[in-house]
Amino acid sequence: MHSHLHRSLILRTLSSSSSRFALPPFPNSLSTMASSSLTLPSISLRKQLPFNASSSDSLRIRSLRLRNPDRSRVFMTSVSVGSQALVNDSLFSDYNPTSAFLFPGQGAQAVGMGKEAQNVPAAAELYKKANDILGFDLLDICVNGPKEKLDSTVISQPAIYVTSLAAVELFRLRDGGQQIIDSVDVTCGLSLGEYTALAFAGAFSFEDGLKLVKLRGEAMQEAADAAKSAMVSVIGLDSEKVQQLCDAANQEVDEADKVQIANYLCPGNYAVSGGVKGVEAVEAKAKSFKARMTVRLAVAGAFHTSFMEPAVSRLEAALAATEIRTPKIPVISNVDAQPHADPDTIKKILARQVTSPVQWETTVKTLLTKGLKKSYELGPGKVIAGIVKRMDKSAVIENVGA
């Protein structure tokens, strides 16, 4: 909050179990998001609930209903100065998930993805827009490869972002698809997938999200090229044992080669990032710590560690120039496994994300504990479904590709 403001943002939750409000649906296609302008998290993408700004500080009260009619009514009091409104970042802190859209991250790509999207106009349009932004035929690389090109960081990240949102368009056309989309009340994505989730939730347009993802891939590749680093998955140990393994490896390498847990995926599957020598030490010691196996990951470098620090300033500059709005539904952050409503906070977290461990295990555990009934993995691969099922065999999750 800015110190010169005379009033602060207040969130009050009042019990209101007897009232019911129907919520309007998501838009007919993601391509309509580009013109969407929102300063308040109305659940609809079609209708806006703008702040009424005046020349002087004014207190405006808007009432919102979250998707679940059994939730308490949320009243949001805002302070608006000129055309800018401040939003309480904890708006979604008491979310109660029932239906979730989950989006994959880098590594899910595979030659042939996007093939079905060619036959759906709204999905094909996303690839056409991507071609204009990227300057090359993304769909051709997705469908035909070659694999080495698709696997590169600078191409795989935009490819997964676009293909995942294309999967939403395919899903929309199936019987009852639009109704399910309208019922989704939480979304999140693994690393790169967080950008996809934010686009789905209307925090930024498809085009702006793609520009950010393009820059993110380029910046991460450049950071990886600047130092020899790597990632390895450690299978069969809990997180405490993996941390002990990292500590043991770090005793044998210089500061520049030290490693840390970068992805907390699920019990028994944690990714370790760091200098190449540190990663090699982890691989050499893993058996002595009773790990079942280690798998070197085919990525450019030590993502989600300080090795990615050179990418942060570029991301910060790009995020500062991007219009980000309050999401219409909770989007769970990879950095702290919490939903955020304040656009400025979202920008800061996205910049920090590339150097911060991914808290995916906590995210999924929280969703399941809070009563999530069904989730959908939209995009290439089945990595997320495998993680969810590993954490709860009875969990209901469906894959939707493109």
Catalytic residue ranges: 191, 304
Q: Which two tokens stand for residue 111?
A: 């030659």
CA atoms within 13 A of residue 88's CA, in its CB half-sphere = 19
Q: Report the distance separating Cα 326 and Cα 375, nearest Å.
A: 22
Q: Report the distance separating Cα 397 and Cα 374, nearest Å.
A: 6
Q: Phi and psi (nearest 5°) for 374?
A: -150, 145
Going across the sheet that includes 331-332, the strands are 331-332, 186-189, 99-103, 374-378, 397-400
Place of tokens 């590709």: 401
User: For residue 269, which amino acid is it?
Assistant: N
Please name the residues in contact with 155: beta carbons below 8 A apart, sequence gap of 6 or more: 138, 141, 149, 217
SS3 state of residue 143: helix
SS3 state of residue 354: coil
Q: Report the distance separating Cα 133 and Cα 125, nearest Å.
A: 13
